[in-house]
Amino acid sequence: MFDASTNPGGGTGRKVDSRVMGAGNIAKTAVLLAAIGGLLIVIGGLLGGTTGAAIGLAMGLGICGASYWKSDALAVRSAGAVPISEAEAPRLHEAVREVVARAGTPMPRVYFIDSPQPNAFATGRNPQHAVVAVTRGLLDITDRDELMGVLAHEMGHIRNRDILIGSVAAAIAMAISFVANMAMWASMFGGGGDDDSPNPFALLLMALLAPVAAGLLQMALSRSREYEADRAGAEIMGDPEPLARALLKLEAVAQQTPVHVNPAQSTAYIVNPLRGREAKAARWFMTHPPVEDRVARLRSMQVGGL
């Protein structure tokens, strides 16, 4: 049973907890940025010695800066999301406004993804620069309470200040995958006669291990991020059932609805958007907990936590 009596406005409003969690997530982001900087320096050193390390440092600074300042733009572009006005989607904007009022967060920018798969994500470097994006499929299959439950989950990410971690990790994973592909081609076609040339075996090893490193960086987010957003969403709503019902609907339909999503961005979504071979390839590095576990936790919620 869930008891929302601690907040007459509809949510339990654990502001102290959310501030503490936000500070912790900011620290995690700093560690993540430092990790990518160090990794790119190592990769640069393997590719080109001291000069390569310097180039890696420059790349690291550039990627980290872009990840922080442009995380929202990178995410919405990758998803093919576009801004949607209140005139175009009055039901969606009304639901967002009500959830924002309950959550006590600034109004995010609202984006739309023309995809039949029911899904949603939040992105941005802080609550003042947040974006919430929803798919056509989500609007098609959810009733008002279920839609608000999904939006409350996304507001939970925003209030917990963990959306930047996911955005930074996704940008980093894409960058590392790009560098790994470059290393693969260099190992196959690069010259090996020059003493200053990088060792092709080292390049090949890096090409194989770099994607693993990218996956491990994303795993640093941990599955607890989704559990915490579920809990925050239930508290914002004052009832875990709308989100629980929505998760079951989303998972059931998403499994049958293929969609093309960059694996590096898949962790941003409320349910895993990858299916088939893509899902099998990414299974070891998924940060989404099983939906049945999330629903069980939601439906067993007590005041003060899962």
Catalytic positions are: 154
3 state DSSP class of 198 = coil
Rg (CA), the chain: 21
CA 152 to chain centre: 16
23 φψ region: left (φ > 0), alpha (ψ -120 to 50), beta (else): alpha
**Helix residue ranges, H only, the chain:** 15-69, 71-79, 90-103, 136-141, 144-160, 163-189, 200-219, 224-237, 241-254, 276-282, 291-299
C-alpha closest to that of 40 among 177, 153, 162 = 177
Q: What angle do CA 220, 187, 62 make, to 5 degrees?
A: 45
Residues whose CB falls within 8 Å of the CB of residue 45, separated by 6 or more in sequence, listed in order: 52, 53, 56
Residue 65: C-alpha distances to residues 12, 116, 125, 170, 171 (Å): 36, 33, 11, 14, 11
The strand pairing partners of 135, in sequence order, are 113
